[in-house]
Each structure stands twice: as C-alpha cells, then as structure tokens.
Structure 1
C-alpha cells in the first residue's frame, strides 16, 4: 500500500489537518460553536447524520481536546445526557497553526 505523500515543510500542518481534516468533524465544530452545550441528538439533527456516523468523530474530537463533554468521557455517565461544547482555545490554536503552515500569517 502506498504511503501518504508528505511534502517538505508540511509538519506544522499535519496535526491541524489530521484533527479537523474531515467534513463531519468540521461540521461538528461548526454546530457546537453556533449552539454550545447540546446533546449528540442535536448535533446529528443539525448535520442530518445518524449517531453511528457522528459518535466516532465526536469521540476523536473529544480525545484531541477540541470538544469538551459534560460529564467527561472519563467519568461514569450512567444514563446522563452528555452535553458537548467546543474548546475555543484549542480550535483557535489549530486555526492559527494551520494559517502559519500555509503562509497566511
């Protein structure tokens, strides 16, 4: 299997693209920035996608520190409605790092 091409000088863009380089992930961030503290159902409704599609991406964003869950994944949730919001500081950091990598800033 061919390995992914990585151009010289692209190291700065690698993490931001890996974290946000997916339309579902960027959609989740967009929804949560517009309407914080919502459940996965609200996210799915806004994106017109099912929970089996959204949940893995939401978990990846949470693991990367981009999305914050209340209660957190590390705590027992036992039937509690989990609400999600964006970690704006982390998103801004990724945005700036990507901007630097493409010569925007």
Structure 2
C-alpha cells in the first residue's frame, strides 16, 4: 500500500487537514455557521446529500469538538424519537482555521 506524501514542514497542517478532511465536512460547517440549531434534514437538503453521507461526518465533527449536538448524540441514541439539533462550536472552528492558516503561512507569529 503506498504511503501518503508528506512534505517537509507540513506537520503543523496535518491535524487540521485530517479533522476537516473533505468537502462534505466543510459544507456542513459552512451551513451550520449560517444556520445554527438545525436537525439533519435541513443540512441534507442544503447540501443535496443523503443522511447516510451527512450523519457520519456530523458525528466525526462532533467527536472533534467542531460541532455540538443537542442533546448529545449518545443521549439521543438511547431515547428514540428525540430530534438532535446541531450547531458549530465557533471557538473550535476558529481555532482550527487559525491553526491551518499558520501552518500554510497565511498568518505569521
């Protein structure tokens, strides 16, 4: 199995890039920043993607601390019929943005 190329000096960017990961996650964050406290349905509609694509990425973003679920998905899973609302953790998203910006040279110390 081939290894992923990792250029010298890219270590600072590795975690932010891994957390963000793909355009679906970026789209979810963009939508939730503009439309906080929504269920998965409006997110799917806005991104024109199905819940089987969106839900796993929402859970990954929640695990990374970038998205807040209310109630937390662990509680909602134990109580059927509970509608989970999602919003961004703006502080964590801003931190991720700044870390990536520093890593790629957009910002300097």
TM-score of Structure 1 vs Structure 2, range by shorter chain: over 0.9
> Which string of whole-angstrom CA distances, capped at 9 and with x for unpartnered residues, describes residues 29-55 of structure 1?
011001000000010000000001111
Residue matched to 2:104: 102
Kept after mapping to 1: 8 A contact 2:44/2:51: yes
TM-score by structure 2 length?
0.92
Alignment check: 8 A CA contact 1:71 1:77 kept: no
Are the aligned partners of 1:71 and 1:83 in contact in 2 as well (CA < 8 Å)?
yes
The whole-number CA distance in structure 1 between the counterparts of 2:4 and 2:33 is 31
CA distances 1:6-36 after superposition (whole Å, capped 9, x unpaired) = 1111111011111113000000001100100
List 4+ stretches of structure 1 deviating above 3 A: none
Per the normalisation by structure 1, the TM-score is 0.96
Runs of at least 5 residues in structure 2 that lack an aligned partner in the other structure: none
In structure 2, the partner of 1:68 is 68
Counterpart in 2 of 1:91? 93
Q: Which moved more, 1:43-52 or 1:14-23?
A: 14-23
Question: How do 1:1-20 and structure 2 match up within 5 A?
Answer: 1-20=1-20
* Alignment partners' CA distance in 1, 2:93 and 2:10: 19
CA distance in 1, matches of 2:21, 2:59: 15
Contact 2:73 2:84 in 1 (8 A): no
